[in-house]
Amino acid sequence: MLRRAVQTYLDHLTVERGLSRNTLASYRRDLDRYLETLEAADVTELSAVTEAEVFSHLSQLRTGSPEHPALSTASAARAMSAVRGLHRFAAREGIVAHDVTRDVKPPAPPKRLPKALDVDQVTRLLEVPTSLRDKALLEFLYGTGARISEAVGLAVDDLSFEGDPAVTLHGKGGRTRLVPLGRYARTALEAYLVQQRPELASKGRGTPAVFLNQRGGPLSRQSAWTILHRAAEAAGLPVEGPHAVSPHTLRHSYATHLLDGGADVRVVQELLGHASVTTTQVYTLVTVDRLREVYATSHPRAR
């Protein structure tokens, strides 16, 4: 019987998996709705369920019925997780011959667009009065799209101001990439390196790191985050909640503004250090008509 199979599965979740009471209640609700779908199709045994019935149930979750409202993508995916768990368990325990949900994929949630500041907001942030080091860090993050780990791990030898100024960034998986330095970032870095870094370095034991703390050691990720937090607050930008400005916000803004300016998505992929262009293409959801040029002609602070 269907309901006996479901109860056996719920008992397994209770005893073997130790799920909480609330989680079990959610599983029971999701499976009760699944049983309604099967019983309406005159299916009385779990072994008689076909892939078609499972797909039909998924469709009803998304479209709704007189008895049940339509579920969001996330809620439908959660409900289908209970259904797939039931069938996997039944196949493993020999209750059914095979798992008919194996090829039924839960609905994928829509991709969320990365948070990005507009150019005016970035300008306000970068014009906040601050120290030479903090100014250089903020200009560097936005001017190169560097990850915060890449910024605090940056060594003096990674910078090149000769010819076409550029920086070598050491990214994930040991991959390195060469990224152009725009005039604003270059100017801010040079001012910091000449006027403030030597004083900071004199307090430490010697480190090749570009960005130093007040004791002369490498700046930490948390300290870099705090620098941005203070600047964002001074610029009147959100520092709490889902839209709070973070170091990654500047990286998102870098990519979005490049594409808005006409940069080719594959160029942006290289600049960001993404292994796959698929990762970068999330930004093209808002800039799909603007993929034309490259960094030097498109980034607001490269000119």
Following DSSP, what letter does each residue of 258-289 receive, concatenated?
HHHTTB-HHHHHHHHT-SSHHHHGGGGGTTTT
> Is 248 one of the catalytic residues?
yes
> Is 252 one of the catalytic residues?
no
Position of tokens 């040079």? 190
* DSSP annotation of 115: P
Q: Look at residues 111, 117, 108, 86 and name the one whose alpha carbon lies nearest to residue 99.
A: 86
Active site residue: 283, 295, 299, 301, which one? 283
> Is 251 one of the catalytic residues?
yes
Active site residue: 57, 186, 251, 252, which one? 251
Active site residue: 92, 172, 183, 303, which one? 172
> Is 172 one of the catalytic residues?
yes
- Please report, for residues 39, 48, 57, 96, 254, the alpha-carbon distance to residue 53 in angstroms, rounded to integers and kept in the order given: 10, 10, 6, 15, 47
Name all contacts of 165-171 with Cβ < 8 Å and 24+ positions apart.
167/140, 169/144, 169/273, 171/147, 171/273
Active site residue: 133, 135, 274, 301, which one? 274
Active site residue: 33, 57, 135, 147, which one? 147
> Is 274 one of the catalytic residues?
yes
d(CA 14, CA 24): 7
Residues catalogued as catalytic = 147, 172, 248, 251, 274, 283
